[in-house]
Structure 1
Amino acid sequence: MEGQTTPARGSLKRKLDPGFQGQNNHQKVLVVGDHMSKDEVVCNFSVRSSTKSCSNQWDYEVFLSFRGADTRKNFIDHLYSALVRIGIRTFCDDNELPRGENISKELINAIHGSKISLVIFSKDYASSTWCLDELVQILHCRSTMNHIFIPIFYHVNPSDIRQQTGPFAETFARHEERFQEDMERVQRWRAAFTEAADCSGFNPQSDANGYEARFIEKIVEQVLYKLNPIRLNVVQHPVGIDFHVEEMKTLLQLGTSSTNELLIMGMYGMGGIGKTTLAKAVYNHICDGFEGSSCLLNVREVSEQSNGLIQLQEQLLFDILRVKIFLIGNVDKGISLIKERLHRKRVLVVLDDVDRLDQIYALARNGEWFFGPGSRVIITTRDEHLLDKLGVNYSYKVEKMNHSDSLQLFSWHAFNMPHPEEDFCEISTAVVDYAGGVPLALEVFGSELRGRSIIKWKTTLERFKKSPNAQIQKILGISFGSLDHTTREVFLDIACFFTGVNIEYVFKILEECGSFPHIAINILVQRSLVKIDYPNLRMHDLIRDMGREIVRQESRHPGKRSRLWSHEDVLKVLKNHTGSEVVEGLSLNPPIHEDHVISLESEAFANMKNLRLLQIKGVKNLKLEGCAEHLSKELRWICWHSCPLRFLPPRLHLENLVVLDMQYSKIKQVWKLENNILSKLKVLNLSFCEDLAKSPNFLQVPNLEELILEGCTGLVELHESIGYLKGLVLLNLNGCKSLMNLPESISNLKSLKCFLMGRCFNIMRNLADRTTINLSNRSWNLRNFLRASLHVFGSLVKLGLRNSNLLEGDFPIDFGGLSSLQDLDLSVNDFHDLPHGICHLPKLTRLNLAESRSIRSISTLPANLRILFAFSCESLERISISESRLDALVLRDCHKLVDIQGFESLASTIAVGLEGCLEQEEDIDFVKNTLLQLQKWKWPSMVERRQIWLYGDEIPNWFSHKRKGSSISFHIPPLSDQGVINGLVFGVVISNKNILHVWHGSISVVFHNKTRGHRQVIEGFICYTVGSEDYLLLVQVGVGGGSEIPYGQVMINGEEIEVSFEFECSQAPEYNRVKECGVHLLIIQPEEEAGSMVYSEKKKKMMEDDLMQDTLATKLTRHGPRNRRMFREYDGIDSFVSYIERMKHTSLRRPTQWSSSVTRATPF
């Protein structure tokens, strides 16, 4: 898109996004690029960048180098517009004036000041000497300062660039004739062309089949990834880790003469000592300085799974290239792909928990390392000898924690603060000494002792000392010994079979085993024995091995142990028929390199009468002979992947089965007998059973809850009886490309909450939006489907109609059929007003209207709506929230908004985002008046906390007290005889130098009355931003009995108050800080306070009249869009909603009186 330009000789023209007209210089987007010229343009200007990269002070994010004559008005214009549209600061020269022979100093500075260069090689690119000089500079920066270079081969062949042939041959010949006296310069250009052609880049034909829009989209996606590398979650309490991170960074020799050398770092130490934690922390600190990065966790565990190494290879390629690699097929092919695609790229790779050389050979080295010069590889392992055999550059031993750090880490888990409570100091020291500096032991012991009396601590410590403590497994076993019998059984099941498995899946299986898994797993999480990395269960290796060791100690004979998971033990028991009634679980999962035929007899299971759990996985050649009736009647879980059977044996006892998982099997028909009733079966997973032609008769599984048929490419029909599955919640038909239609009875699935049918090519029509369904031989377009779905799928909890080109007339008048709907996504649609019927949805709590460009007004919201997203609604002028009870309202970047009716309902709102909707000064004046008015009138529904987000880099002038930094002290001013401090407004300016697309964190306020010695900590104020500008967070809290600051109204004249603000952002803590803070006292005089606790419609009307005198309509200024990254659905809405919900539903504990110790008030 061509912006407004003002050609001027002697200065670079500034191509401005229209939305930046009239803004300050630091809010402008400067774009600079190259065009063929005769005269040199001498330019002098300075640019203040509103944001910087984390590791380098980049002035710009992207520098575009291109030949203007053949790309400026088409591809470059579109690419530039796409980059600017999502807030990427782009340097792109739009100067058509003649130029001299040499590249300008300003362009050189621009290249050095950019993080990424996109070089568009077109047919005429080499005809510009400026382009060639730019390329030389860009490649120089790539080799010396971590500059990211991305070539775009725009309708040219990389081989022609590499060899300067084709359209470039004649051009370089002319250069050699023209610069006969400066042939060294021409040789630099040739060398740069050759080097550039060897770099991984983009080609419109191979990357987008020639479709330019998709081509640009892929380029922008890659740029975004380079600008916003994914940060890894490290630990909740990173105690003592900074020192080790700095040591590692020194050994990795970043920013030294060895920067361009490939360097391999090995980390070793005992399990649970913190190798993975340290590796992830180092990764977060340095990943920005590479062209790509990948952190492969749990390499040992994943590689043991079927096709595990292939999965890791695919993940490595995707992480670095951001392109999905399909059908690697085998490890050798993956090795070739990695070497081919990454051998010239400067990358950072972490291989975590490696225990075999073949894992490294498959992922990073096979005779030679796979990655380009300047790459860094970090390997963590328990085996120091493996690093010696590998020949790493440096080995780093992760040692135990020192006493001070150990005590701090233990205290966080035992007391939820960095030091012990006063009465527990001595006993805490004794426990820490016994833990021996092992972080995992410190966490487990802290959780075990938390909340207990000193007497209990002493007896527990004595019990600790009575057990062998030479190995950490035995220490962890103490926590296992404290569990009740049922919880122990759940722990052992997870340790042996369910680590890394979906928690809901585990719940279903273990519930039918009578284990009460919800209660048990909650206890295990509290004891730090299990972690939930939702949706999966996680268990540290040491804890898992400790549990397995407990099972091993049950008997010297594997057949007399309760659980069998070791491949050797399982084969020994099955081949020798030594199983017994003790065996409850068995997993046959051979190492990946073992693919020989395994022959077994079903009689081997005859004595395993209590077998509940059976897993056969990764066995490609299994021959099972004999009668199936030997298998236990107690089976709850059968997981048999790649099963060679065409159908399940008729005598197989399945009456107690809860989960049947037969993925990738040869099954043609699940079972032959029609009279088998599997009344307890809840999950049937036949994914990728390509030979399955028809589904089973569902009358045999009346209580089925999940039916997963994904990838059943041979499935032609779905049995009509599916309509009898009254409890079916999930139906997954993704990829059933042979399925012709859906049975009419599918409309009877009243409990269905999730319905997936992507890639069902014979059912779906208009695949662009996947909204047309051929149902019962009737063609339903989106509009008809929307109306019918109200009655067919009345149990739906979430309905997503994003980007469906919907108009007002497409919606039914009555939404009553969707009585259970809680979440409605109508973003990116074309209606002008909110469909009327939506207001009648009784349970709707979340409504997303984001980026609905045509919507002009929002009114009459559903009664129970709690969260409304309406950001980037470019045409939105008015919104009414008069009757709503919102917990969060996000209106960011609604530039035409002129009226918010009922803004006083902020009294029941905990979070409001008004960024980019108002001019700054008018913003805060309006907010000030609203807060002051609201404080006067307290009605019963009024909450004690309100938050408003604004763009801003300073505390408003109307604040009583403000100061640079994160803390402020002041004295209570003189009050009239009966004046009351009725509330406080806290202001915090967050310096936002974050490179993440979207982040959210929290602000904790420490309120300290230094005169009285009282201290109050108020936690959990949400801090949420998008883009890169500084943010102003205004928070109002009440004071007085029952409020967050109890008895605050008795603060008297002259008392010294100190308020400090602690900012926490786990996503990127090093890039954000409290820049300035302030406190404003809301003082109510007697005449204002009289009757203020009594709510009446009259008073509400009075307040509304007061607010209308300073109407918001006069305070909102229309202006263009700012250059800021858009907040898309996939980038952060779900995490933001989760954050809001946590703030809302956490109990608010307010102390009845102030004390000298710290009392933490937990938010909503």
Structure 2
Amino acid sequence: MEFYQYVFEAMRMIIVISAVTVQWFGVIASLKWIWKNWFIIVVIVTWNVIATLGWIWKHRFSYMVETPEPIAEGNQEPVDVDASTSSAPRWKHDVFLSFRGVDARKGIASEIYYRLQTRKGIKIFMDDPDLQVGNVISPTLLTAIKESRFAIIVLSPNYASSTWCLEELRYICECMKEDEDRILPLFYYVNPTDVRYQKSSFGDAFTKHENSGRYGLEEMRQWRAALNKVANFSGWDTKNYKTERALLDAVEETVCDKLRATELELKMSIGGFEVFEATKQAIDQVMNALKDNEATTIGVYGMGGVGKTTMVNYVGVQAQENRLFDKVILAVVSQNPDLMKIQQTFAEMLGFELKEKTEIVRARELKKKIMRGTRILIILDDIWKRIEFSDIGIPSHNDLQRCNSKVLLTTRKLDVCRSMDCHANIRLNILSEKDSRSLFVKEARKYPLDKSSNFYDVASEVARECAGLPIALIAVARALRGEGLDRWKEAARRLKASQPPVLEAEEDVFKCIKLSYDYLKSDVSKSCFLLCCLFPEDYDIPIEYLLNYGIGKGMFQDSDMLDARATTNSAVKALKDSSLLLDSRHDVCVRMHDVIRDMAILISLSEDGPRFLVKVGCELKNWPRIDARKGYSAISLMKNKICKLPEELGIQNIKLVGESKYQDGSCN
């Protein structure tokens, strides 16, 4: 019934009541009596008007939903069926847990809650078991569903007997209809076919609902449609697992993978990110561009090591928490783009598998997946030259607008932003002298540093030499942790006197990384650091490979295998503590920032370096010509297309040769 019909009905009631009142007083009293008792008449008429207005107010929104409110059953409460579409300000919960209390609260639901919330720190919304029947909790639950990134539906034998559960499921499907990958069904000792077609216990439950006469046909149709829809989603089925423990392991792994592919991975990548003035300005500009309906491609450019990657990761987290986007996906492009790897990364983050083998077909499937979704922020990090979105599978400008999605890219050059037809080109500047000093003393663990301290002037001098580049500031600061004033003064002197063999634009970074390298306390740490530059950019470097290469270089001649492995692990830890290496997505691997990798190659080629020849990902088909007089001790030709080694290398001091054996760029 439409709202105006209710208004018409109310007016009709007022007229009828007034007519009856007039007729009544006309019969029992004269006009004189009415005149004498006018006050009583006013009271009666006023009471009728108030009662009518109250009736209108009470039913003012009932025209939106014609179904009666579900009745509370078991230990769960009625749901308000007002499907308001106002969006919450941020994702408050990672997972909303929907279940039938009598079937699952003390069993599978509690175990899922313990595994995810208690052990993994994943935010789970699970209704309060102490709520009494009749308490009005529906607004809380509706808000919780809206503010949850995923929903796990525990479909147990008695699930459909609760109209509360059915209405909750209907609302979940309504809220998440634009991205149904967020709904994760768990078929808990029920057959998915019985859920889909409402057979067995699900059919019996609907028979009872129909016979009760309390629910309308349209309402039950919506419940059936929700069950049919969720039964077609990919989830977990108890019959596929030998034990409940194995089932819970699978649930935990899937949820963690889905979250890791989005917010968890981004949050890990920003670590203790601190917003300084330069980054704040750029962040504000990027956020404004992301809110601009006309802009679909936003470019961020700035010097290597200035913090572009960390900043866009931070922006991704903020954009997702503020509900600008439902998903954020990120891939590193680098100097030699591996399109299949980029496509695979995006597919994993979107929660599906690319089975096709050719780039063209994979791009087509990826584009379909992105277009089927909505509000996806696609981050392309470290672009060096123009790359066609269509080659990856990223939709065009018009298609991105249709699905409310955008691309955010980072590069070192403004020209690349222009070549990519960015609608906004945003520069990330270096840190101010004040912010540089602040970051430096914090990383050196001298914070807060009073101006009267002997370290203050030296800290300012060292920070100034790092040229406002966070990567250089952090590397030098961590090298000086725990060192005395004399060591700090020596560092300042060496930075000033340094004459690096690099271009002017890179000399500040080089001298800072070189100082941090020189301050490493063990030769094994220095050797492991340089060995890492033999691998491709953004490569997950297996620590075991560093051990094997170290053995090949003769680093552990006086150690057995156990000691050599322990020494390698200690060296890797020292390098990570110095910010010369980064954590990988895999526990047994490490990564090296591309700027630091460039500097490591230069260090290896310096006067006292071991001299490495690195030609990675250059599309080489034949063994390159190598000047034997250069005295190279290691050659890396990974990710090329060289089929065989030459019969003779013609190099006397060579100890390592890394050829194109490792093609996938992954940690095996």
**Quick one: distance in 1 between partners of 2:286 and 2:617?**
41
> Deviation digits for residues 418-470 of structure 1, max 9, x if unmatched?
43671232333233333221112222343455535165355324314898883
Q: Relative contact order (C-alpha < 8 Å, sep 6+): which is higher?
A: 2
The yes-or-no answer on 1:354 pairing with 2:378 is no
| Residue in 2 that maps onto 1:90 | 126
Of residues 363, 366, 369, the one that matches 1:335 is 363
**Quick one: distance in 2 between partners of 1:537 and 1:565?**
19
CA separation of 1:199 and 1:579: change in aligned 2, threshold 3 A: farther
Q: Is the 8 A contact 2:365 2:393 kept in 1?
A: no
Alignment of 1:150-189 (within 5 A): 155=192
| Residue in 1 that maps onto 2:275 | 240
Higher deviation after alignment, 452-461 or 426-435: 452-461
CA separation of 1:312 and 1:405: change in aligned 2, threshold 3 A: same
1:299 Cα offset (Å): 3.9
Q: Is the 8 A contact 2:432 2:468 kept in 1?
A: yes
**Quick one: distance in 2 between partners of 1:510 and 1:160?**
62
> Deviation digits for residues 401-427 of structure 1, max 9, x if unmatched?
122211111113445324367123233
Higher deviation after alignment, 222-231 or 605-614: 222-231
**Quick one: distance in 1 between partners of 2:163 and 2:572?**
67
Of residues 414, 435, 455, the one that matches 1:424 is 455
Q: Specify the code of the residue in structure 1 equivalent to 2:126.
A: T
Alignment of 1:573-588 (within 5 A): 574=623, 579=628, 582-588=631-637
Q: Specify the code of the residue in structure 1 equivalent to 2:383.
A: V
**Quick one: distance in 1 between partners of 2:574 and 2:636?**
26
Q: Helix, strand or coil: the match of 2:264?
A: coil
Alignment of 1:968-987 (within 5 A): none
Of residues 540, 554, 557, the one that matches 2:593 is 540
**Quick one: distance in 1 between partners of 2:580 and 2:360?**
38
| Residue in 2 that maps onto 1:460 | 494
**Quick one: distance in 2 between partners of 1:433 and 1:376?**
37
| Residue in 1 that maps onto 2:534 | 496
Alignment of 1:312-461 (within 5 A): 312-321=342-351, 325=353, 329-346=357-374, 347-355=376-384, 358=387, 361=390, 365-367=394-396, 373=403, 375=405, 377-392=407-422, 394-419=424-449, 422-447=453-478, 450-453=483-486, 456-457=490-491, 459-461=493-495
Q: Is the 8 A contact 1:586 1:613 kept in 2?
A: yes
The yes-or-no answer on 1:611 pairing with 2:654 is yes
- The alignment's C-alpha RMSD in Å is 6.2
**Quick one: distance in 1 between partners of 2:583 and 2:162?**
58
Of residues 89, 94, 98, the one that matches 1:64 is 98
**Quick one: distance in 2 between partners of 1:330 and 1:55?**
38
CA separation of 1:252 and 1:535: change in aligned 2, threshold 3 A: same
**Quick one: distance in 1 between partners of 2:136 and 2:194?**
31
CA separation of 1:294 and 1:490: change in aligned 2, threshold 3 A: same
**Quick one: distance in 2 between partners of 1:14 and 1:73?**
7
| Residue in 1 that maps onto 2:545 | 505
Q: Helix, strand or coil: the match of 2:623?
A: helix
CA separation of 1:118 and 1:111: change in aligned 2, threshold 3 A: farther
Q: Helix, strand or coil: the match of 2:435?
A: helix
Q: Helix, strand or coil: the match of 1:471?
A: helix
TM-score (norm 1): 0.37
Of residues 505, 513, 524, the one that matches 1:471 is 505
**Quick one: distance in 2 between partners of 1:390 and 1:233?**
29
In structure 2, the gaps of 5 or more residues are 1-68, 83-87, 118-123, 557-566
**Quick one: distance in 2 between partners of 1:76 and 1:521?**
45
CA separation of 1:314 and 1:138: change in aligned 2, threshold 3 A: same
Q: Which structure is higher in helix share? A: 2
**Quick one: distance in 1 between partners of 2:603 and 2:651?**
20
Of residues 206, 210, 233, the one that matches 1:201 is 233
| Residue in 2 that maps onto 1:280 | 313
1:123 Cα offset (Å): 13
> Deviation digits for residues 955-997 of structure 1, max 9, x if unmatched?
xxxxxxxxxxxxxxxxxxxxxxxxxxxxxxxxxxxxxxxxxxx
**Quick one: distance in 2 between partners of 1:483 and 1:94?**
62
1:613 Cα offset (Å): 1.0
1:77 Cα offset (Å): 9.9
CA separation of 1:314 and 1:133: change in aligned 2, threshold 3 A: same
**Quick one: distance in 1 between partners of 2:295 and 2:249?**
32
**Quick one: distance in 2 between partners of 1:118 and 1:526?**
39
> Deviation digits for residues 748-789 of structure 1, max 9, x if unmatched?
xxxxxxxxxxxxxxxxxxxxxxxxxxxxxxxxxxxxxxxxxx
Q: Is the 8 A contact 2:70 2:167 kept in 1?
A: no
Alignment of 1:864-943 (within 5 A): none
Higher deviation after alignment, 438-447 or 369-378: 369-378
**Quick one: distance in 1 between partners of 2:437 and 2:242?**
60
TM-score (norm 2): 0.59
CA separation of 1:467 and 1:563: change in aligned 2, threshold 3 A: closer
1:157 Cα offset (Å): 11
CA separation of 1:355 and 1:76: change in aligned 2, threshold 3 A: farther
Q: Helix, strand or coil: the match of 2:382?
A: coil
1:382 Cα offset (Å): 2.5
| Residue in 2 that maps onto 1:268 | 301
| Residue in 1 that maps onto 2:9 | none
CA separation of 1:262 and 1:423: change in aligned 2, threshold 3 A: same
Alignment of 1:770-809 (within 5 A): none
Q: Specify the code of the residue in structure 2 equivalent to 1:113.
A: A
CA separation of 1:575 and 1:264: change in aligned 2, threshold 3 A: closer
1:538 Cα offset (Å): 3.6
Alignment of 1:732-881 (within 5 A): none
**Quick one: distance in 2 between partners of 1:328 and 1:145?**
23
CA separation of 1:336 and 1:128: change in aligned 2, threshold 3 A: farther
**Quick one: distance in 2 between partners of 1:255 and 1:542?**
28
**Quick one: distance in 2 between partners of 1:250 and 1:199?**
44
Q: Which structure is higher in strand share? A: 1
**Quick one: distance in 2 between partners of 1:336 and 1:570?**
25
Q: Is the 8 A contact 1:299 1:353 kept in 2?
A: yes
Aligned length: 538
1:542 Cα offset (Å): 1.7
**Quick one: distance in 2 between partners of 1:568 and 1:93?**
58
CA separation of 1:607 and 1:251: change in aligned 2, threshold 3 A: closer
> Deviation digits for residues 492-513 of structure 1, max 9, x if unmatched?
4432348742334323432552
**Quick one: distance in 1 between partners of 2:590 and 2:535?**
11
Q: Is the 8 A contact 1:121 1:156 kept in 2?
A: no
CA separation of 1:473 and 1:339: change in aligned 2, threshold 3 A: same
Q: Specify the code of the residue in structure 2 equivalent to 1:202.
A: S
Q: Is the 8 A contact 1:62 1:89 kept in 2?
A: yes
Q: Specify the code of the residue in structure 2 equivalent to 1:510.
A: G
| Residue in 2 that maps onto 1:300 | 334
Q: Specify the code of the residue in structure 1 equivalent to 2:310.
A: T
Q: Is the 8 A contact 1:447 1:526 kept in 2?
A: yes
Q: Helix, strand or coil: the match of 1:352?
A: strand
CA separation of 1:405 and 1:189: change in aligned 2, threshold 3 A: same
| Residue in 2 that maps onto 1:967 | none
1:272 Cα offset (Å): 0.3
Q: Specify the code of the residue in structure 1 equivalent to 2:234.
A: F
**Quick one: distance in 2 between partners of 1:568 and 1:83?**
45
Alignment of 1:910-1059 (within 5 A): none
**Quick one: distance in 1 between partners of 2:233 and 2:169?**
15
CA separation of 1:204 and 1:340: change in aligned 2, threshold 3 A: farther
1:398 Cα offset (Å): 1.5
